[in-house]
C-alpha cells in the first residue's frame, strides 16, 4: 500500500540551530512534493514545491531536498526562531494522479530560546 | 484581499442532523477541495471539483455530499450517515496548472 510517513514525535531544538524534518514515502511514483506549515487551529500554508527531477530548492531560510532513490524529502530551517514553531506537513502528488495530493501526518517543531 | 473563507469556524450538531459547511473563494481558482483532519492523522481528501457542476469523490466520501454550482463556492454537507463526523474540516483551492493549495481557516465540527 502507499504510505507517506513523517516523524510523529515532536522535534525540539534550540534557537539558532538548523531544524531538519523528514518525509518518507513508499510505493509512489512522485511528480512533485510540497511542504506546508500549519499553526494550531489554522489552515496549512504552502511553503515550497520540489519536482521529481529537482534535487534541492531554497527559499530564504528554508531548504528542501528530494531523493527519489531513497524515497525521501528533507526539509531544513536554518537559523531557527521561536516563530518557526508549528506543525510541518509534506504532501505528495503522483505521476498521472491528476495533481491529487496525499498528505503526511505532520511533524511538530518547537524552537526554544 | 483574495482568499478562501470558511464558515462557521465552530459548529455543534446533534447526532442524526445534517450540517452544511460553507467554502467561498475569490481567487478565481478552478479547483476546490475538502479535507478532513483528525488528531494524529494526515489530511484526508473527501471530495474535489475541477470545474463547475462537476466533482469527484476523494478517499473518504461516504457520509458526505457536495455541490459546485458556482466557481466561487463549494459547500460540504455532513450527513447523518457519516459515522464519525467530529473533526476539523479544511477547504482548499488552486488553479489547475499549479500545485500550490490555498487553504481556508477551517471549520471544527463537534457532534454532541
Residue A1 pLDDT more than 70? no
Q: Which residues of A touch B (CB under 8 A)?
A: 4, 8, 32, 34, 36, 41-46, 49, 89, 91, 93, 99-106
Interface contacts (A, B; CB < 8 Å): 54
Q: Tell me the C-alpha distance between A20 and A7, whole Å.
A: 11
Q: Which three cell numbers stand for residue A44?
A: 496549512
* B48 in contact with A, Cβ within 8 Å: yes
Contact A17, A113 (CB under 8 A): no
Nearest Cα of chain A lies from the Cα of B40 at a distance, in angstroms, of 6
Element (H, E) at A107: strand A107-112
What does the pLDDT average to over A66-85?
Answer: 96
Residue A89 pLDDT more than 80? yes
Residues of chain B contacting A39 with CB distance shorter than 8 Å: none
Convert the pLDDT of each residue in B41-96 to its tens digit: 889 999 999 999 999 999 999 999 999 999 999 999 999 989 899 999 999 999 87
Q: Tell me the C-alpha distance between A15 and B79, whole Å.
A: 46
Contact A48, A32 (CB under 8 A): no
Convert the pLDDT of each residue in A14-71 to its tens digit: 999 999 999 999 888 888 999 999 999 999 999 999 999 999 999 999 999 999 999 9
Amino acid at each position: 500500500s502507499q504510505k507517506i510517513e513523517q516523524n510523529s514525535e515532536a522535534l525540539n531544538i534550540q534557537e539558532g540551530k538548523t531544524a531538519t524534518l523528514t518525509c518518507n514515502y513508499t510505493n509512489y511514483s512522485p511528480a512533485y512534493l510540497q511542504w506546508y506549515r500549519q499553526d494550531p487551529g489554522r489552515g496549512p500554508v504552502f511553503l515550497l514545491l520540489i519536482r521529481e527531477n529537482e534535487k534541492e530548492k531554497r527559499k530564504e531560510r528554508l531548504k528542501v531536498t528530494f531523493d527519489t532513490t531513497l524515497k525521501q524529502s528533507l526539509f531544513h530551517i536554518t537559523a531557527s526562531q521561536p516563530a518557526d514553531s508549528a506543525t510541518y506537513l509534506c504532501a505528495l502528488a503522483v505521476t498521472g494522479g491528476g495533481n491529487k495530493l496525499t498528505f503526511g501526518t505532520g511533524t511538530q517543531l518547537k524552537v526554544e530560546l | 484581499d483574495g482568499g478562501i473563507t470558511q464558515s462557521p469556524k465552530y459548529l455543534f450538531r446533534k447526532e442524526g442532523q445534517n450540517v452544511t459547511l460553507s467554502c467561498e473563494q475569490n481567487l478565481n481558482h478552478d479547483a476546490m477541495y475538502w479535507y478532513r483532519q483528525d488528531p494524529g492523522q494526515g489530511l484526508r481528501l473527501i471530495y474535489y471539483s475541477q470545474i463547475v457542476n462537476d466533482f469527484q469523490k476523494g478517499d473518504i466520501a461516504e457520509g458526505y455530499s457536495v455541490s459546485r454550482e458556482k466557481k466561487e463556492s463549494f459547500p460540504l454537507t455532513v450527513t447523518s450517515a457519516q459515522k464519525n463526523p467530529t473533526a476539523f474540516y479544511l477547504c482548499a483551492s488552486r488553479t489547475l496548472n499549479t500545485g500550490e493549495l490555498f487553504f481556508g481557516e477551517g471549520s471544527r465540527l463537534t457532534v454532541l
